[in-house]
Structure 1
């Protein structure tokens, strides 16, 4: 068989009957960038080392990105760190939310918002 024998059937195959199906457009999702994720994971690592937190989950949704923090895997998250880009010009894109739904802190800078979770312990005397 020569190259011409192979090329001829391929050239004519599917002409007129081929349907081009485009790939569906990728859904746009909100995500944490590298610096944001590094900031969150630094705090998470410290809290794991202290024995306070044990697990996490990350969800990238159409309108927000969520980093959920768990004490145990089977529980509801203790805290949710959320990024809402649509709120960036108003109340701030970042928020820390408790499991009850109460917003602990909201703001424009992730580091400042996360400070609410990283407060040092105080000595209480009798």
Structure 2
């Protein structure tokens, strides 16, 4: 089995681990050190690796939560001092954006339970027609 794990270069592994835990990712503590953390969720994983400010590379990605959880995740982030943006409603569902401790923008999506087709695929097809 092959598993792909995106690696996010961060200035502070502990602060970033705490942030991504607020998004619902679980730290694999047996793999964590002062320079590395591995976090997993039901839909994937991310690795956090220490990097000096000059060598940090930004990777944008999205986190998807279950229908009905978006407001709670946004409130949890705000309660811990992060500044999530307003919740927006799009064809694929609702979402907001929030910066992690290094300023990397993370899009947090809520996908409705009744989403039976890929709106992104349909929108892409419509743009190409």
Q: TM-score by structure 1 length?
A: 0.33
Structure number, greater radius of gyration: 1
Q: Which has the higher contact order (CA 8 A, sep 6+)?
A: 2
Q: Which has the higher strand share?
A: 2
Q: TM-score by structure 2 length?
A: 0.32
